[in-house]
Structure 1
Amino acid sequence: MTRTIEDLPPAVRSRYPYRSRFVAVNGRRMHYIDEGPPDAPPVLLLHGNPAWGYLWRDAVPPLLAAGLRVVVPDQIGFGLSEKPHTHAVHTLDNHSANIVALIDHLDLRGATFVCHDWGGPTGLGALLTRPHRAAAVAVMSTWAWTTPSSDFHRSVLPWRLMHAPLVGPYLLGTRAAMPGRGMYLSVVDRKHFAEQSQEAYTSVLDDPDERTLTWTWPRSIPIGLPGDTTAARFRWLEDGVRALRLPSTVIWGREDEVFPSDVFAARWHEIWPHAEGTHLVTGRHFLQEDSGTGIGHLLADFATRAAHAPGAAR
């Protein structure tokens, strides 16, 4: 059954008061919102695991107030988009292709790509496939290379244990550890998150059969082992982003322990010496939960300047 924002709990709807839209991308049903003037410079907000567009709710109003168009898709497998059970659907190439299909369908031009978590590898892959559609790029708590992988992801407890063949599907699939305990531990103000946000993430992943991506996607993170399946993909990504000459900015949670800023934000500045930032805000890995409005203002200023820069795509 297709659900829309209107079908969600009242408290969730009140904090994400936008119209649900759907588009077929590569044979799958993708949910997204598209707000603001249709001819305004577009800002594409991309989330990761196990979030959905709701993560950006506090960033959207400042962008709209700046006169920008805001497009926020739910990645296939999350939110109100279709949630395929087949693991083969959830490759990085397929998820990037889904984003390409969306931006082609909407004919986005001069877009600012905003990439958080898995929105990085997927969104940057889409940007490299359609570079003529991009005006600028912002990265937040994400990466696009094989090494150094995070100490968090190399650790046996809890990360590699959670993604073991039997333990992973049980904890992340059956027990919903990622949208539950995982997100709760990855914000600064946990009391506020539990009261204001937790339901928004668990309510859209309430069926264990729909949580496939929460435990299959993390297995795509290369951690330097012979069994890494995406190392070649990440080498391609790094080569591609190093060649980009777009206006760029780096925004990071100062308390992020998954991708610590002193390693990962610094790596982005090594790749893009021209990048603005690092703009440090209060926040762990899901920094939008603690500093969404401030992030929205940073992005509004950045996207507006990028849209009016000489030579910007129109």
Structure 2
Amino acid sequence: MAKVHRTPDDRFAGLADYPFDPRYHLLSDGLRLHYVDEGPREATPVLMMHGEPSWSYLYRKMIGPVVEAGYRVIAPDLIGFGKSDKPTDKGAYTYAGHVAWMREWFEAMGLGNVILACQDWGSLVGLRLVTAMPDCFAGVVLSNGGLPAGQEPPPAFAKWRAFSKYSPVFPIGGILQRATTTELPDHVVAAYDAPYDTRASKAGARIFPSLVPLGENVEVPAQIEAWKVLETFDRPFTCCFSDGDPITRGGDAMFRERVPGARDNPLHRTLKGGHFIQEDDPEGFVGAILDTARRAGV
């Protein structure tokens, strides 16, 4: 196995508004995956999946309200992010590998009747879980994400991909700040920086934009197959994209046209904010989740 970095626990001490007990699952290849698990174990699970370069801290404003509404909230950190282990070789990261890691964890958790809430890479991985195990999901809430399958990258994304690949500095917290319309307090910016105490620990965050299957990419055939499953998914599928994200703006149209559960769904809405809507409009995202769960009857 490639060299793996494990961020020291003291980097996460005293994070504001993130009081959740850490939980860990050891994957078959020895990597340790961290997740938040709050609320009654017997309740309907809401799976909140983060993107890049964030981690489960992104959902800190949403976990409590969804639990208070009677649900179990599970928020994992992707391998390479947050409190999960971080291979330091960029070559250790592939799209298929991430889907496999998360599927192994998901199956070990024994989850069913799940409402998926996802954004950014959380949708790239999360929607692949849905299409691999559609019977395990009662509904989907998608914000500022997608399931690309060989399209040409938007200009804003092409710039981001080049920055992540070539920039000599990669300030995670600063990147989150620039992709929100909310002015993040210094301690919040620091919390997004917390998982990355070494330059090498940012390998996953650095490589992720290059793994998105836009243009020619090894994962395009798998994406096409995943879309075939989505085109049969008739459970509630709600889009709640923001009005201020230059990368994903308009990306909901494809889902509303092609996914049966998204057609004639009265719950679609536009949220106020930038790319990381969990910071800019967490209440709106929570509302979409709860409405979708009710529509799904869970």
Normalised TM-score (structure 1): 0.85
Tell me: CA distance 1:194–1:229, structure 2 relative to 1, closer, same or farther (3 Å).
Answer: farther
- Measure the CA separation in 2 of the matches of 1:124 and 1:153: 23
Q: Does 1:259 align with 2:252?
A: no
Conserved in 1, the CA contact under 8 Å of 2:156 and 2:246?
A: no
- Measure the CA separation in 2 of the matches of 1:187 and 1:181: 10
Give 1:202 shift: 0.7
Tell me: CA distance 1:57–1:213, structure 2 relative to 1, closer, same or farther (3 Å).
Answer: same
* Counterpart pick for 1:113 among 107, 110, 116: 116
The one-letter amino acid of 1:291's match is: D
Give 1:231 shift: 2.0
* Counterpart pick for 1:78 among 66, 81, 84: 81
* Counterpart pick for 1:180 among 166, 173, 180: 173
- Measure the CA separation in 1 of the matches of 2:6 and 2:219: 32
Name 1:25's counterpart in structure 2.
Answer: 27
Name 1:221's counterpart in structure 2.
Answer: 212
Tell me: CA distance 1:276–1:218, structure 2 relative to 1, closer, same or farther (3 Å).
Answer: farther
Tell me: CA distance 1:161–1:88, structure 2 relative to 1, closer, same or farther (3 Å).
Answer: closer
Name 1:271's counterpart in structure 2.
Answer: 258
* Superposed counterparts of 1:177-256, under 5 Å: 177=171, 179-189=172-182, 191=183, 193-224=184-215, 226=216, 228-256=217-245
Q: Does 1:125 align with 2:134?
A: no
Normalised TM-score (structure 2): 0.89
- Measure the CA separation in 2 of the matches of 1:127 and 1:25: 20
- Measure the CA separation in 2 of the matches of 1:26 and 1:151: 37
* Superposed counterparts of 1:126-141, under 5 Å: 126-141=129-144
Conserved in 1, the CA contact under 8 Å of 2:62 and 2:282?
A: yes
Name 2:282's counterpart in structure 1.
Answer: 292
Percent identity, please.
26
Q: Which runs of 5+ in 2 are unaligned?
A: none
Name 2:101's counterpart in structure 1.
Answer: 98
Conserved in 2, the CA contact under 8 Å of 1:250 and 1:275?
A: no
Give 1:154 shift: 5.8
RMSD: 2.2
Conserved in 1, the CA contact under 8 Å of 2:39 and 2:67?
A: yes
Give 1:9 shift: 4.2
SS across alignment from 1:139: strand
The one-letter amino acid of 2:102's match is: I
Give 1:7 shift: 5.0
- Measure the CA separation in 2 of the matches of 1:150 and 1:282: 24
Aligned length: 290
Name 1:49's counterpart in structure 2.
Answer: 52
Conserved in 2, the CA contact under 8 Å of 1:75 and 1:95?
A: yes
Q: Which runs of 5+ in 1 are unaligned?
A: 309-314
The one-letter amino acid of 1:123's match is: G
Give 1:29 shift: 0.5
Q: Does 1:162 align with 2:163?
A: yes
Give 1:152 shift: 3.1
